[in-house]
Amino acid sequence: MADAARRHAELVARIRDANHRYYQLDAPDITDAEYDLLLRELEALEAAHPQLVQPNSPSQRVGDAPSGKFAQVKHALPMLSLANAFSDTEVAEFVERIERETGDRAPVFSVEPKLDGLAISLRYEHGVFVRGATRGDGSTGEDVTANLRTVKSIPMQLAGGLFPPAVLEVRGEIIMPRADFEAYNARACAEGRKPLANPRNGAAGSLRQLDAAVTAQRPLAFYAYALGEVQGADLPATHSQTLQWLRQLGFPVSPEVGTAAGLAGLLAYYQSIGERRDGLPYDIDGVVYKLDRFDRQQEMGFVSRAPRWAIAHKFPAEEARTTVEAIEVNVGRTGAVTPWVQMTPVQVGGVTVSRATLHNADQIARLDVRVGDSVIIRRAGDVIPEVVRVVESARPPDSVPWQMPAHCPDCGSAIEREVGEVVARCTGGLFCPAQRVQAVVHFASRRAMDIEGLGERFAQDLVAFGLIQTVADLYRLQVADFLEMKRRADARDDSTPATVKAGKIADKWAQNLVAAIDASRNTTLERLLFALGISDVGESTAKTLARHFGSLDALMAADEAALQQVPDIGPVVAAHILHFFAQSHNCEVIAGLRAHGVHWPEGAPQRASDGPLSGKTVVLTGTLESMSRDEAGARLEALGARVSGSVSKKTTLVIAGQAAGSKLAKAQDLGLEIWDEAQLLAFLAAQ
Ligand code: 5U1
C-alpha cells in the first residue's frame, strides 16, 4: 500500500506537470501516447486502491485550470472528455457494455473523425454569438470570444428561421487545416519568423493569443460535434440528427461523420477513415463513436470525466521520444543540403524509425537540435518523420550547438548559402556524385520516366562504378553492365538484395531493368520536361509548358518574354528554364537522349481551345464532397480550363470546397470570382 501511495503521488505530480505544459505553456515535454499511459496507470491504481482518489486528482479532471491570461467562464454544462480505446478488444467491450445495459442488441452509433485541435464552446443567445470559451478544466474555461470572432467558419448569427433558440451552446474543435498550416510555415520561414510545431499547437497557440489581431492572421477553422446548454428549442431524438440540424444552423460539421451499427460497423469505419486519413484536410488522431439515441445515452450516464455512451478509438501514436545520436547532411539533386538526424530507433505509428528530417539549417537553428538531445519526433502517414521539438529539460550539460559543415560530404566542394536563401547548397554541380545520383533517381521515378526497379540504391552504384555520367547513359546500358555492377557491389559490401544474388535470378533482374529502360524511351513531352529536373519545374508546370509550346524545340527557343506568356510562369521560373537550356551539358544530355531513341509525340501548341473554359485559369481548394479535386480538375480541363495549384492575379476562378483556407482568403483579397461546390456542379451539369 505504501508503494501504491508513493507511485500515486508520483503519477499525480507528473500528470499535473504535463497538463500545465500542454494547456498553459503550449510546450508539452511528453507525447500524447506517454500521457495516455500515465493516465491509464493512475486510473488502474485508483481502481485497485479507491482510498487514493482525491477530488483534484488528474483522473477526475479534464484538463488544467485556466491560465489567468483571459477572463474565466464557468460552463453552464461541463465540457466532457472522452474515454479512449486503443484496440478492437476495448471497442468490443464498450459495445458489449452498451448492449448489456440498454438491452439494445444492435445499437446505432454516430461515427466521427476525432479532430486534433482545441475543444471550445460557443454560446448563442437568441441566435447571436455572445461568448466562446476554451474547455479549461472542464467546468471553467477561458473567455476567448474576441479571438473566436476572427474565425471565419464560426457563424456570428445562426442561420435558419425567425425563432432561434433562446440559448444554444455548440461544442466542437478549433483546428488549423493542414494545407494552411504548411502555407503559414512556408511564409514564416521565408520571413524569418518562428514556424508552428504542428497544426494542433498552431490552433491552440493561435486561439490563446492576447491580441485578437494576431489570431485573425492565423488560418483557423471550426467543426461542431456536440451541444452544451440549450433553451427554447426542440431537439432531435438522435445525435446524428442533431449534427444535421447544426449544419442547417450554419455550423461546419465534418463531411466524414456518419452512422454505423454494431461492432463490425464501428471497426469498418475505423479502417476506412484510417485509410483516408492522409488525404483529409486536417489532422485526426482517431475516431469517435457515440451512441446515437439520446434516451439511450441518458441510460448509460457518466463516470467522473467522461460519458459512458461515447469512446475515442485512437490511431497508433504518431509521436515518440528518442535520442539524437548524430546529425548528418544529405545532398539533393539541385545541390540543396538538408540536415537529418540519426536517432536511437523508436516505434512511431506502428513503424520503427531511426532517421528524421530537419528540412534546413534554419529549422535546426530554431529547434536548436544537438547531438545527445532527447527529441519528440512525429510521423504522419508515409511522410519522412520529422523532429517536432527538443525536450530541453533533458539536455546533456556538455552539448554544443550544431553547425552546417563547410564542405560537401560527397565531393568536398564548398557548401554555400546565398543571402536571403533558406537552403544551403553544395557548389559541386554535376561533379558531385550525390547530385548525379539524385538526378538519376528523379529521372527514373514513376511520375517522370517511370523506369521500374531503378531506385536510389542502384543509381548510387551506377554512378559510383562510373557506369553512367548522365541520365542519357542509362540508355546505353546492357544486361552485362548490370551484372558487372552487381558483381562489384557484392564484392564491395555483400549487401545486394538476396533476390538478386543467384545466377538466373540476377540475369532476370538485369533483363527486367534493361526492358524497363527500353520501355521508357516511348514517353511524353511533359514527363520528359519533369524528368530533366529543371529547378521549380514540377509536374504541373511541365504539363503547362508541354501544352503551351507543343514541342521541345519551341520551348528551348523561347526567350524570357515568351516564357512569361505562359500562365503561372513568373520571372523566377522563367529564369530557371532559360538557365537550364543555356548550359551546354544539359543540351548534350537532351541530344544524347534523342540519339538513344527517347521520343515523345510533339504537336501544335494548345494555347486556346473551343471549350467554354478555354483561356481560363481555375484553382480548386478545400474538400469537395461529390468528387475528388483531381476528378474535378480533369473535368474542368476537358472543358478547356487550365487548372493551377496557386492563386494569383492571373487566376480567373476559384472553386472553394469545405475547409478552404489561405487560397480562398487570397482569392477574396484579390476580388476573384469564387464558386462553391453547388455552383461547380450546376455548371458541369449544364455542359
Ligand atoms: N468528433 C468528436 N470529437 N469529440 C471530442 N466528438 C467529440 N465529442 C467529445 C469530444 C471531447 O465529447 C463529447 C462527449 C461531447
Burial readout 488-510 (b: 16 or more C-beta within 10 A, e: otherwise) = ebeeeeeebeeebeeeeebeebb
Closest C-alpha to ligand 1, atom 4: 114
207 exposure class (CB count in 10 Å sphere: 0-12, 13-18, 19+): buried
Distance 239 CA to ligand 1 centre (A): 11
pLDDT greater than 50 at residue 304: yes
What pLDDT, on a 0 to 100 scale, did the predictor assign at position 450?
94
Cell 460519458, located at residue:
307
Q: Is any ligand 1 atom within 6 A of the Cβ of residue 75?
A: no
Of 388, 49, 433, 32, nearest to 196 by C-alpha is 388
Q: What is the mean pLDDT of residues 385-394?
A: 86
Separation of CA 288 and ligand 1 centre (Å): 7
- Could you please report the per-residue DSSP string of 78-108? PPP---EE-SHHHHHHHHHHHHHHH--SS-E
Whether 119 is in the pocket of ligand 1, judged by its Cβ within 6 Å, is yes
Q: Contact at 8 Å (CB) between 534 and 572?
A: no
Residues 6+ positions from 73 with CB-CB distance below 8 Å:
131, 133, 136, 140, 141, 142, 143
Task: Name the closest-CA residue to atom 15, ligand 1.
Answer: 226
Ligand 1 probe mutation, 81, 120, 288, 290, most atoms within 8 A of CB: 288
Q: Is the CB of 319 under 6 A from ligand 1?
A: no
Distance CA 26, CA 265 (A): 36
Band of pLDDT at residue 551, cut at 50, 70 and 90: very high
Confidence grade of residue 585 (pLDDT, cut at 50, 70, 90): confident
Of 291, 280, 285, the closest CA to residue 242 belongs to 291
For the cut 70, the answer to whether the pLDDT of residue 365 exceeds it is: yes
Query: Kind of pairing, strands 386-390 and 653-656?
Result: unpaired
Task: Determine the residue type at 559.
Answer: D
Q: How confident is the model at residue 385 (pLDDT cuts 50, 70, 90)?
A: confident
Establish whether residue 133 lines the binding site of ligand 1, counting it when its CB lies within 6 angstroms of any ligand atom.
no
Burial of 645 per CB tally in 10 Å (0-12, 13-18, 19+):
middle
Cα separation, 531 vs 445, whole angstroms: 8
Beta strand spans in 575-640 (E): 617-621
Report pLDDT for 124.
95
Question: What is the biggest distance separating any 2 CA atoms in the chain, rounded to whole angstroms?
Answer: 85
Local confidence band at 49 (pLDDT 50, 70, 90 cut-offs): confident
Q: What is the predicted pLDDT for the residue at 655?
A: 93
| Cβ atoms within 10 Å, residue 475 | 18
Decide: 284 and 114 in contact? Cβ < 8 Å.
yes
Instruction: Indicate whether 302 pLDDT > 90.
Output: no
* 543 belongs to the catalytic site: no
The 10 Å Cβ neighbour count of residue 588 is: 12
What's the pLDDT tens digit per position in 159-187?
Answer: 877 789 999 999 999 999 988 888 888 78
- CA nearest 424: which of 325, 343, 330? 330
Cβ-defined contacts of 266-275 (< 8 Å, 24+): 266/91, 266/95, 266/109, 266/111, 266/313, 267/88, 267/91, 269/111, 270/91, 270/313, 273/113, 274/315
Residue 165: per-residue pLDDT: 95
Q: pLDDT class for 498, splitting at 50, 70, 90?
A: very low
List beta partners, residue 643.
Answer: 618
Over residues 555-561, mean pLDDT: 94
Task: Determine the pLDDT at residue 37.
Answer: 83
SS3 124: strand
Specify the pLDDT at position 381.
Answer: 56
Q: Band of the pLDDT at 131, cuts 50, 70, 90?
A: very high
Q: Give the Cα separation of 572 and 297 in Å (integer).
A: 60
Ligand 1 atom nearest the C-alpha of 287 is: 1
What pLDDT is attached to residue 499? Answer: 47
If you take atom 1 of ligand 1, which residue's CA is the nearest one? 114
Percent of the chain with pLDDT over 90: 45
Marked catalytic residue, from 114, 314, 486, 616: 114
The answer, yes or no, to whether any atom of ligand 1 lies below 6 A from the CB of 340, is no
User: For position 608, what pLDDT does the model report?
Assistant: 46
Q: What is the mean pLDDT of the chain?
A: 87
**Ligand 1 atom closest to Cα of 310?**
14
Q: Is the CB of 80 under 6 A from ligand 1?
A: yes
Q: How far is the C-alpha of 120 from the C-alpha of 172, rounded, in Å?
A: 6
Residues 137-160 pLDDT 10s = 888 999 999 999 999 899 999 987
- Using alpha carbons only, give the angle 152, 128, 211 rounded to the nearest 5 degrees: 50
Query: Does the beta carbon of 307 sit less than 6 angstroms from any atom of ligand 1?
Result: yes
Residue 601 has pLDDT above 60, yes or no: yes
Pairing assessment for the beta strands 310-314 and 84-85 based on DSSP bridges: parallel
Nearest to 537 by CA among 505, 581, 477: 581
Q: Which of 109-113, 348-352, 581-585 has the highest mean pLDDT?
A: 109-113
pLDDT digits (tens, 9 = 90+) for 513-528: 999 999 999 999 999 9
Our answer on whether the CB atom of 288 is closer than 6 Å to any ligand 1 atom is yes
Q: Does ligand 1 lie within 6 Å of residue 196's CB atom? A: no
Average pLDDT over residues 248-266: 95
> Is the Cβ atom of 79 under 6 angstroms away from ligand 1?
no
pLDDT for residue 64 is more than 60: no
Q: What is the CA radius of gyration of the chain?
A: 29
**Could you tell me the distance, in angstroms and rounded to a whole number, from the CA of residue 126 to the centre of ligand 1?**
25
pTM: 0.53
Residue 62 has pLDDT above 60, yes or no: no
C-alpha cell at 493: 559490401
- pLDDT attached to residue 26: 61
Residues 680-685 have a mean pLDDT of 84
Query: Which whole number is the average pLDDT over 584-606?
Result: 89
Distance 174 CA to ligand 1 centre (A): 12
Joined grid coordinates for residue 393: 529539460
Alpha-carbon distance of 335 to 7, in angstroms, equals 53
Q: What is the pLDDT of residues 183-215, one digit of tens each?
A: 888 787 777 777 777 788 889 888 888 888 888
**Confidence at residue 201, expressed as pLDDT on a 0 to 100 scale:** 84
Burial class (CB in 10 A: 0-12, 13-18, 19+), 110: buried
- Per-residue pLDDT at 339 exceeds 80: yes
Pocket test for ligand 1, best of 109, 170, 171 (most atoms within 8 A of CB): 171
Decide if pLDDT at 629 tops 50: yes
Mutation probe of ligand 1 site: the residue of 79, 114, 174 with most atoms within 8 A of C-beta: 114
pLDDT 10s digits, 367-377: 889 999 999 99
